[in-house]
Amino acid sequence: MLIGILSDSHGRCKAVRRAVALFDRLGAGMIIHCGDVGDLGVLDEMAGRNCRFVWGNMDEPSSAVDAHLETLGIPPPDHQGLSIDVDGKHILVFHGHEPTFRRAIHEQAADYVLHGHTHQPCNRRVGAVRVVNPGALHRAKPRTVATLDTATDDVTFYDIDSP
């Protein structure tokens, strides 16, 4: 499955709209946001798609936000990260500030660990774990997102401001 990955949108709905349109064109079967969503409008941009996300250190979850997520059909995350299995691959998603983030990498707890927080794109292996940060859609030059193809293990980065 092709997974679209974005992070650190900090409420930049137009940037998220561009990223989601790119993922749609590429045929992504899932979109994962690695936290610091920043605004309910960001989640609105992802509505109608197979989306999952985690909270970042700048997000403020509430019962009102959970109610909004329910109307969008997007499952609310817990505060410990996200664990999903796709195509026989185990994927952990964090924002990158959680104490369990580095431990998951060190313990080789997944095939992939996706994260944000640093606003810097990253694609590296730590032992058997592939660690991917898609970059950021706010306070980043360039503003980047990534795709992960679980069938081929390919990670590709995209500058959303490039034509």
Tell me what the mean pLDDT of segment 79-84 comes to: 88
3-class DSSP state of 98: coil
> Which domains does the chain show, CATH number per domain?
2-159 (3.60.21.10)
Which tokens belong to 92?
Answer: 């952990």
β-pair partners for 147: 4, 156
Tell me what the mean pLDDT of segment 29-54 comes to: 96
What does the pLDDT read at residue 142?
97
pLDDT by residue (tens digit) across 94-113?
Answer: 999 998 999 999 999 999 99
For residue 97, what are the CA distances in angstroms to 21, 60, 71?
Answer: 28, 15, 28
- pTM of the predicted structure, to 2 decimals: 0.96
pLDDT by residue (tens digit) across 111-158?
Answer: 999 999 999 999 999 999 999 999 999 999 999 999 999 999 999 999
